[in-house]
């Protein structure tokens, strides 16, 4: 879990993301939530008005990197990702979300 990862000296990371391509209407948010929960990450995901998906990921650094790779390359089965942008990356001392939510 997160506590064990922290004891190993691995910090917590927070990063914002935006995914471009055919990422709306393809269950992208549902799959992102599922993958984040599988990795034990918290944060959120939502559709934007300009056809992208955006959100925030928080958790142990290695797990955050895994989800970043997933957002960049995999996504939901019907999605077509052209690119994923990441910003506001910072180390945090505590998680700011309780779970990983899909926001409307």
Annotated catalytic sites, by residue?
29, 47
Q: Which of 9, 7, 10, 8 is nearest to 59 (CA)?
A: 10
Q: Identify the three-state secondary structure at position 43.
A: strand
Q: Which residues contact 81 (CB under 8 A, 6 or more apart)?
A: 19, 20, 21, 23, 71, 72, 73, 74, 75
Half-sphere exposure of residue 82: CA atoms within 13 angstroms, side-chain side: 8
């Amino acid at each position: 879990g997160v506590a064990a990862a922290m004891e190993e000296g691995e910090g917590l990371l927070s990063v914002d993301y935006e995914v471009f391509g055919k990422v709306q209407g393809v269950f992208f948010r549902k799959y992102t939530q599922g993958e984040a929960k599988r990795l034990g990450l918290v944060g959120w995901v939502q559709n934007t008005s300009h056809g992208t998906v955006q959100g925030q990921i928080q958790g142990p650094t290695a797990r955050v990197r895994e989800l970043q790779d997933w957002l960049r390359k995999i996504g939901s089965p019907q999605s077509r990702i052209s690119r994923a942008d990441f910003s506001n990356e910072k180390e945090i001392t505590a998680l700011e979300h309780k779970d990983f939510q899909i926001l409307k």
